Amino acid sequence: MCAAVYVLSTVTGYVLTSALLLKCPNLLHRRKRETFRSRHISHRGGAGENLENTMAAFKHAVDLGTDMLELDCHMTKDEQVVVSHDGNLQRACGINANISDVPYAELPPYLCKLGVTFQRECFCEGGEDKRMPLLRDVFDAFPHTPVNIDIKVNNDTLIKKVSELVVKYDREHLTVWGNASNQIVKKCYKENPQIPVLFSFPRVLQLLGLFYTGLLPFFPLKEQFLEIPMPSIITKLRDPDRLTRSHRIIAWLADTLLMRKALFDHLTARGIQVYIWVLNDDEDFQRAFDLGATGVMTDFPTRLKDFMDRNGISKPE
Ligand X SMILES: *[C@@H]1O[C@H](CO)[C@@H](O)[C@H](O)[C@H]1NC(C)=O
Q: Which residues here bind ligand X, judged by CB under 6 A? A: 75, 79, 88, 96-98, 100-101, 150, 152-157, 179-181, 184
Cβ pair 85, 115 in contact under 8 A? no
| DSSP code string of 141-201 | H-TTS-EEEEE-S--HHHHHHHHHHHHHTT-GGGEEEE-S-HHHHHHHHHH-TTS-BBPPH
- For ligand X, give the closer residue by CB, 97 or 234: 97
| Dist. CA 61–CA 46, nearest whole Å | 7
The residue (of 158 and 251) whose beta carbon lies closer to ligand X is 158
Residue closer to ligand X by CB (options 76, 145) is 76
Question: CB of 80: closest distance to ligand X in angstroms?
Answer: 10
Nearer to ligand X, 17 or 88 (CB): 88
Minimum CB distance to ligand X smaller for 223 or for 307: 223
- Decide: helix, strand or coil at residue 124: strand
Position 245: which residue type?
A: R
Q: What CA–CA distance (Å, rounded) separates 154 from 74? A: 10
| Cβ proximity to ligand X, 64 vs 234, nearer residue | 234
> At its nearest, how many Å lie between ligand X and the CB of residue 184?
6
Q: For the chain, first and last CA: distance in Å?
A: 55
Least distance CB 98 / ligand X (angstroms): 4
| Contact indicator for 185, 203 with CB cutoff of 8 Å | yes
Number of H helices, E strands in the chain: 12, 10
